[in-house]
Structure 1
Amino acid sequence: MRLLTPNSVEATMLAADQPHAPAAIRIDLGAIFVSMELSKSTWLLTSLSPGAGERMSKHTVGAGDIAGLFDRFGQLRAKAKRRTGQDFGVIVIQEAGLDGFWIHRVLEREGIESHVVDPASIATSRRRRRAKTDKIDGEALVRALLAYKRGEPRVCAMVRPPSVEEEDRRRVCRERKVLINERTCHVNRIKGLLFTQGITAMNRCAAIGAND
């Protein structure tokens, strides 16, 4: 049995902590893969197209500009056809977030395959641990989508977008909870203000109001 010296233990730990280079990209799935990073002002698109090797390209469209988004998809398809002589569909991925699912629904209505991913499910190295609010970069999203489409296990968790009706029902429940919490905060604030004036019971307050 060979014992590890302190130097060899340290070298092993350092090697294990080194960030791994991204694996080579397989682009034989016959589609254009696009990630969308959404913000209030712009949408950043990162795309990987057949015939372009492993090089990803980035483009921007104005936030909410659906026509501009579809124009960009058309340009990507035209470029891929010029390079390969074939037509390719577009597969899109975006993070679940404040924008909800309306973009996903628009894409699906136009016949575009769309996926919404839980950002917390995408693995990151220990050296690149993110804050909960940090966004996944576009290239990482494209790689996750590629691995997901190849059927690799435990790559990421796709969110099942609810129907419009389901979303409306959930919103009613959420809004009710929000209103109840707000009411509790206001009641407690009023109680605190009354306490500073020597009034310690709400029924006393009600009695004063009734006598006024």
Structure 2
Amino acid sequence: MNAPETALQGQDTAVIGRLYIAFELGEKSWKLSLGDGVHAPSRCTVAASDMASVLTAISKAKARCGLAGQAPVRSCYEAGRDGFWLHRWLTEQGTHNLVVDSASIEVNRRARRAKTDRLDGDKLLSMLMRYHAGERRVWAVARVPTPEQEDERRLHRELGRLKQERTAHSNRVRSLLILHNLRVARIGDRLWKPWWNEHGPQLPPGLRAEIEREVVRLALVKTQIKTIEAQQREAVKLSAQPAIALLARLSGIGVGSSWLLVKELFGWRRFHNRREVAGCLGLAPTPYSSGESQVEQGISKAGNKRARWLMIELAWSWLRYQPTSHLTQWFNERFAPGGKRTRRVGIVALARRLAIALWRYLEYGEIPSGASLKPLAKGCRP
């Protein structure tokens, strides 16, 4: 008897079959690729959100592959417009599901690449099998928030969209006025109506009506922005958001910025070290080293873009409102004497260090070295 047979003697060597499913989600229909890693995969198309058809397809695939009805099921789909509701439904059905970052999926770089939903589904299915076989770096798996954590993001994301709309309406009005050599500094404030009463009548009636409609939409957007900002301030004032209130105590960081950082980054992610913080923000370096060629490609930009953009803005604000902090002194010694490009490179490095300092401040209570705190606002609890 050989060694492997001796080692396996007396052990249960039965292989428990598993069914693997890859979802290719579309607006009107979903394409499913199903297989067990032994038989050739089967494919089917179901109407979007038709969950009864999905369960039927799973049952048929198990029967075709000779799997028991209670055989475990593992699935995946790409993160997109459907969000995480499908993941939660699959989890309720006892399926081990993965939500995959589509940008991390490897593609064939040889000549032209054929791309169809069928090929994409088969590719996802093969990568799912490889992932569960031990190749954990075959793609990047998205971290799924709880329904409560996901809902808490709605407020600041809506606020961001409203501010973009405000800028768009203001720019549109200015562009229309410039057609007739009229220029105004601010639109929609208390000085707008007297200015409009003086210059508006000289414009053509069609243009005047269009500008008035734009101003009405601009006023509505501004009202909604004020409502959301007041809601955020009230929540902080009533100590309903202690992490946000703690972060907003640092000079140079406001309630809106603190809200975004906590809800997008620090409030639901748990980091073990500074490298994870930089990597989640996309502020980690990406070296390219092959043979004699060694090039630094800059930051990866692979993380949360909202938080990354905000950290760059906060880095500039930190230099202004925290002049005595060690981070500001480090930047001034190393990058301030250089030119504009040197300072732009340095502000990214400062943003990375500042993000790590804010994480330590929230996680361990370590105030950034040399940083100053704002006094507590009236009515706020420490």
TM-score of the pair, normalised by structure 1: 0.74
Matched-pair identity in %: 35
Equivalent residue runs for 1:31-180 within 5 Å: 31-49=18-36, 53-80=38-65, 83=66, 87-127=70-110, 137-180=120-163
Deviations 1:37-75 (A, max 9, x none): 01111110001136xx34111011110101111121122
- 2:59 and 2:69 in contact (8 A); partners too: no
What letter matches 1:67 in structure 2? A
Contact 1:77 1:87 (8 Å CA) reproduced: no
4+ long deviations beyond 6 Å: 133-136
Gaps (5+ residues) in structure 2? 1-14, 201-382
Q: Secondary structure at the match of 1:46?
A: strand
8 Å Cα contact 1:199/1:205 also seen in 2:
no
**Aligned CA distance change for structure 1 residues 85 and 184 (closer, same or farther; 3 Å):** closer
More helix by share: 2
The structure that has the greater radius of gyration is: 2
Kindly state the Cα deviation for residue 122 of structure 1 after the two structures are TM-superposed. Answer: 1.7
Distance change (3 Å), C-alpha of 1:148 and 1:56: same
| Aligned residue in 2 for 1:9 | none
SS of aligned partner of 2:44: strand
Q: Distance in 1 between matches of 2:133 and 2:46?
A: 29
TM-score (norm 2): 0.43
Cα deviation code 1:49-102 (max 9, x no counterpart): 36xx3411101111010111112112222333xx35674121111011111111
Q: What does the per-residue CA deviation read over 1:157-198, in whole Å, with 9 as the maximum and x for residues that have no partner?
A: 111111111211222222211111011011011012122233
1:103 to 1:90, Cα distance in 2 relative to 1, 3 A: same
Q: Residue type matched to 1:158 in 2?
A: V
Q: Pairwise CA RMSD of aligned residues? A: 2.8
Determine the C-alpha separation between the residues in 1 that align with 2:137 and 2:172: 47
Deviation, structure 1 residue 112: 1.2
Q: Distance in 1 between matches of 2:140 and 2:120?
A: 17
The number of residues matched between the two structures is 180
Task: Give the strand-richer structure, 1 or 2.
Answer: 1
